[in-house]
Chains A and B, each alone.
Chain A
């Protein structure tokens, strides 16, 4: 099973080999409300950890998705651009935003596992 980690910005990252899949959590989509627009990065772009990489918008809020780790964007989810509502329907499933080739796996160490994230949500 793939390694799963979470950021304090309510993103999840699933690691399979050197490829990481990034999206926002179910909790995050609930906070946002109805998602109406998603902007994904260009494939091939190199991003640093915490760099603004994608955008997700509801009617009244615009939020940036930060790269949880540094790496190169290798794939983006075209389905999201056409059907942004998918983020509300299946945030941690079909509605992933982009995949990164991880540059530095040690950056994963600072992230939370699911239990820690759930605790973090409860506290905030």
Chain B
């Protein structure tokens, strides 16, 4: 087997040195009747060519996003990632390193994490950020639990504009010990009255910006109302490119920002791995989950970086840790940082403007189709349309015509009749005029 360097004669020499007759003697701790005699019922060793052929056949059964006019978003976005990013994250020293527990030989990872944390803090308008979470949804769940710890309260008020899967994650992570979630009904237009739901028991208000429907709304009044009752505002961002153009949540009074960073540097990958961004105020840092890199000096006084404030974490605090998270999304965070460095402020803001312009132009074109209504009043690169018909069936029909037209809201919030004619449509810089024309034509045909 090409991955195993030991040869049979060497194995025997090693067994002799250990002083046992056979390798199974080393499994003496295993109850004899539990040691398998037969090989597992699986195929035998295969060469690269065979494996590649088999997997390529499987991959060919999928329709790659890049091969069709593509408008699917709702929490994951197709953006162009510069070739440099993938090259750099495949450097052996980044790809095959472990968590930087030995800082003297991990400065590469640690310095990039320090850059990552700074970029995330700047972008969200917050003071500090951690070294990443699994993804936006788990970052959102952890943000709610952090708010519970900070306020010593147990009720989360969740906006109807929060991605329904995110809401499910929050509910799954916080339905014991008296914790509970008050979730508002789906709110495509951003007009729900969330403020009246905040009371003296509320630990936090969770609002997505832009919402899962694409709607942009001012968070400042919500933050003010929350703070007046001693509650925190958790702002959730699933399309991080939007912050190249929009006012950051930190400026509107958010206490914690939980975001999905996939859009920068990371491909769609059918849902993972992605990278959760987590930022907060400095005064809350000791309740923040996850690893944090910090600056210090070495014994010769040279600047260097270490993982710090680790007493918050499971490997030291064990059952009193702020979270059980250990492995995070290191390499995806690296991809984020490299892509963000390539963009810079100039590139990011222009990218954001292109996204917005593409979405505006698509919305206008779709709105001209009879019976189609754009229901989102203000948006970034994603909006929601109401169609005369069933959204799921329409999306499937569009797919048969070779257009991926968006996400039917019913797929995310099943069992809610009022959303069955709504489609969430995203348009990023990857879409061309031809793509938009193809979408309009196909939608006219299937309706």
Contacts and interface: CB of A to CB of B under 8 A. Distances in A.
A and B touch in the complex (CB under 8 A): yes
Interface of A: 37, 57-62
A24 B320 CA distance: 21
Interface string B311-325: 100001100100000
16 contacts: A37-B286, A37-B311, A57-B311, A58-B311, A59-B308, A59-B310, A59-B311, A60-B310, A60-B311, A60-B316, A61-B311, A61-B316, A62-B311, A62-B316, A62-B317, A62-B320
Given A62-B311, A62-B316, 14 more contacts: A37-B286, A37-B311, A57-B311, A58-B311, A59-B308, A59-B310, A59-B311, A60-B310, A60-B311, A60-B316, A61-B311, A61-B316, A62-B317, A62-B320
Contacts of A58: 311
A49 to B, nearest CB: 20
A62 B286 CA distance: 13
A31 to B, nearest CB: 15
B314 to A, nearest CB: 11
Interface in B287-313: 308, 310-311
Contacts of A59: 308, 310-311
Contacts of A57: 311
The 6 closest A-B pairs by CB, nearest first: A62-B311, A57-B311, A62-B317, A62-B316, A60-B316, A61-B316
Main secondary structure on A side of the interface with B: strand
A61 B317 CA distance: 8
Contacts of A61: 311, 316
Contacts of B286: 37
Interface of B: 286, 308, 310-311, 316-317, 320
A64 B311 CA distance: 12
Main secondary structure on B side of the interface with A: helix
B308 to A, nearest CB: 8
A61 B308 CA distance: 12
Contacts of B317: 62
Contacts, number: 16
Nearest to B317: A62
A13 B308 CA distance: 32
B186 to A, nearest CB: 41
A37 B312 CA distance: 11
A58 B286 CA distance: 14
Nearest to B321: A62
A44 to B, nearest CB: 15
A73 B286 CA distance: 23
A6 B316 CA distance: 26
A62 B310 CA distance: 9
A62 to B, nearest CB: 4
A60 B316 CA distance: 7
Nearest to B318: A62
A57 B316 CA distance: 10
B322 to A, nearest CB: 11
A87 to B, nearest CB: 14
Nearest to B315: A60
A28 B39 CA distance: 55
Contacts of B308: 59
A57 B321 CA distance: 13
B318 to A, nearest CB: 9
B320 to A, nearest CB: 7
Nearest to B316: A62
A97 to B, nearest CB: 17
A123 B182 CA distance: 55
Contacts of A62: 311, 316-317, 320
A29 to B, nearest CB: 16
Nearest to A60: B316
Contacts of B316: 60-62
A57 B286 CA distance: 12
A13 B286 CA distance: 28
Contacts of B311: 37, 57-62
Nearest to A63: B311
Nearest to A36: B311
Interface-central residue, B308, B310, B311, B320, by most chain A CB under 10 Å: B311
Nearest to B286: A37
Contacts of B310: 59-60
A58 B320 CA distance: 16
A11 to B, nearest CB: 19
A61 B313 CA distance: 11
Nearest to B320: A62
Interface-central residue, A57, A60, A61, by most chain B CB under 10 Å: A57
